[in-house]
Amino acid sequence: MRSINWRVTAFTVVFFIVFVHLGFWQLDREDEKVALLEANAEAMARPPVGLAELEARDIGDLQNAGSRVVLYGRWENRWVLLDNRILKGRAGYEVLQLFRDATIEQPVLINRGYVPAGPHRLAAVDILFDASVTPGLVSIIGIPRFSREAERSWLGSETMSNGVSLIQLADAEQIGQVLSEPLYPVLIRLDEKDPMALPRHWPVTVMAPEMHRGYAVQWFLMAFAIVVMWGVFTWQQWRPQDEPRASS
């Protein structure tokens, strides 16, 4: 009497459960991404709020929903460069420039966008800053980004050939130490329509919801395939074998 190969069966059951679980996990991720994109669209449609209103709101909601803020003040001729940024396959930096808002006492870090790197890592790069473009007090709009506690390990800074600081982490507290001036504890990503905006690629989510659905289908197909393989293997073990012919 033939019996089931329990090792193969146990292997099949375990990986079938794993593949199905991963498939449903990808579907859950798809739902999360859809909700994130919808929340971001709603937040972008609302009018921006002032910096003074940030503290009265939930930082997590602002971070995740992409709420906008409006600042009114003056650009300062001071900035640092955020290292290890990539745009269209080319290495470079992001320009974090100071903006002094008229409603608060501390300068604010504004991420203007990307600039390509020079011939070597610490070579000076040209930063477009024409005071005639933004004379006097101006109004700017951007999206706040808050540093999470887990990201605040000190990574140090370097000095480029033109004296500009090259930093590894966009944390206002640490950059304030580099610039020897306390900064408002938030980083603002400048609106792409602002005349001071530089090229950038800041997607709301790195992976589109449709990709998660595609991965889910792959996991479910793998679960189906492993069951089919178990069925074929078991059938081969159980099927009747031809009786050997007796020699004459």
At 248 the pLDDT is 46
Q: Which long-range contacts (CB under 8 A, 24 or more apart) does 96-100 make?
A: 96/167, 96/170, 96/175, 96/187, 97/129, 97/196, 98/179, 98/183, 99/71, 99/73, 99/74, 99/75, 99/140, 99/188, 100/73, 100/74, 100/76
List the domain range (segments joined by +) for residue 176: 67-190
At 124 the pLDDT is 80
Note whether 183 and 214 are same-domain residues: no
pTM attached to this predicted model: 0.75
In a domain, 142, yes or no: yes
Note whether 178 and 143 are same-domain residues: yes
Helix and strand numbers, DSSP H then E, in the chain: 4, 8
Note whether 111 and 170 are same-domain residues: yes
- Residue-level pLDDT, tens digit, the chain, 248 residues: 466 778 888 999 999 999 999 999 999 999 999 988 888 788 777 888 887 776 555 554 445 456 788 999 899 988 999 998 999 989 999 999 999 988 887 899 999 999 998 888 888 887 877 655 556 788 999 988 876 554 556 666 788 888 888 988 888 888 888 888 899 888 999 999 998 999 998 888 888 899 999 999 999 999 999 999 988 888 877 766 555 555 54
In a domain, 149, yes or no: yes
Residues 6+ apart with CB under 8 A from 238: 2
- Domain count for the chain, please give it: 2
In a domain, 77, yes or no: yes
Note whether 22 and 112 are same-domain residues: no
Note whether 88 and 153 are same-domain residues: yes
Note whether 150 and 225 are same-domain residues: no
Note whether 219 and 177 are same-domain residues: no
At 64 the pLDDT is 44
Residues 6+ apart with CB under 8 A from 84: 91, 168
